[in-house]
């Protein structure tokens, strides 16, 4: 530690610049800990505090933040090129449910065999499906062809 430190008491009042030994003595008199806040400053900044209580409050605050945090899941809906209207309607209902819960929906269409020659038709199937979800969610970009799959992610509307 440095020879001299700038000392701040427990209420945030500056006590001035003093030797480290004197700052340690003041901390012992008050029954507190001397904590180096900024070692890079000239002179270093130290604060008087109950370090155990500070650590406890920091852990408690982190737990509270984690509890209030909502994790966004990505739910996947799989389509095929020859999907029937009833199956599309069923998947639209599920996708709307996922979007209402605040989750993202990944729409995937897997092209098998000769279907890969009809990529345009497959993209139209995916676009049609996404258009049925317009009131519940939005997409950032157009459906993209990724190998044998056509993928698009639908985000929930806020």
Model-level pTM? Answer: 0.58
Are residue 63 and residue 80 in the same domain, yes or no? no
Q: Which of 67, 94, 110 is the last residue of a domain?
A: 67
User: Quick one: pLDDT band at residue 154, thresholds 50, 70, 90?
Assistant: very high
Mean pLDDT estimate for the chain: 89
Number of domains in the chain: 2
- DSSP state string for 8-65: E-TTS-EEEEEEHHHHHHHHHHHT-EEEEEESSSSSEEEEEE-HHHHHHHHHHHHHHH
Cis bond upstream, residue 137 (ω within 30): no
Task: Write out the residue range of the structural domain in which residue 113 sits.
Answer: 74-156
Separation between Cα atoms, residue 103 and residue 151, nearest integer Å:
17
Q: H/E/C letters for each residue in 74-116? A: EEEEEECCCCCHHHHHHHHHHHHHHHHCCCEEEEEEECCHHHH
Model confidence pLDDT, tens digit, residues 136-151: 888 988 999 988 999 9
CATH of the domain at 110: 3.30.110.10
In the predicted structure, residue 74 carries a pLDDT above the cut 70: yes
In the predicted structure, residue 70 carries a pLDDT above the cut 80: no
Are residue 95 and residue 58 in the same domain, yes or no? no
In the predicted structure, residue 57 carries a pLDDT above the cut 70: yes
Are residue 114 and residue 132 in the same domain, yes or no? yes
Are residue 79 and residue 147 in the same domain, yes or no? yes
Are residue 54 and residue 80 in the same domain, yes or no? no
In the predicted structure, residue 56 carries a pLDDT above the cut 90: yes
Are residue 61 and residue 78 in the same domain, yes or no? no
User: Quick one: pLDDT band at residue 5, thresholds 50, 70, 90?
Assistant: confident
CATH of the domain at 35: 3.10.20.80
Model confidence pLDDT, tens digit, residues 85-111: 999 999 999 999 999 988 999 999 999
Residue 59 has a pLDDT of 94
Residue 1 has a pLDDT of 57
């Amino acid at each position: 530690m440095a020879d001299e430190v700038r000392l701040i008491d427990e209420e945030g009042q500056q006590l001035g610049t003093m030797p480290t030994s004197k700052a340690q003595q003041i901390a012992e008199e008050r029954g507190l800990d001397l904590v180096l806040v900024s070692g890079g400053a000239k002179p270093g900044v130290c604060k008087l505090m109950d370090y155990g209580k500070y650590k406890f409050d920091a852990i408690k605050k982190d737990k509270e933040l984690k509890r209030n945090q909502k994790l966004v899941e990505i739910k996947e809906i799989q389509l095929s090129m020859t999907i029937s209207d009833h199956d599309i309607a069923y998947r639209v209902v599920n996708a709307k449910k996922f979007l209402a819960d605040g989750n993202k929906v990944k729409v995937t269409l897997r092209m098998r065999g000769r279907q890969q020659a009809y990529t345009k038709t497959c993209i139209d199937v995916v676009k049609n499906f996404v258009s049925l979800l317009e009131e519940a969610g939005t997409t950032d970009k157009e459906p993209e062809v990724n190998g044998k799959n056509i993928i698009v992610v639908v985000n929930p509307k806020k």
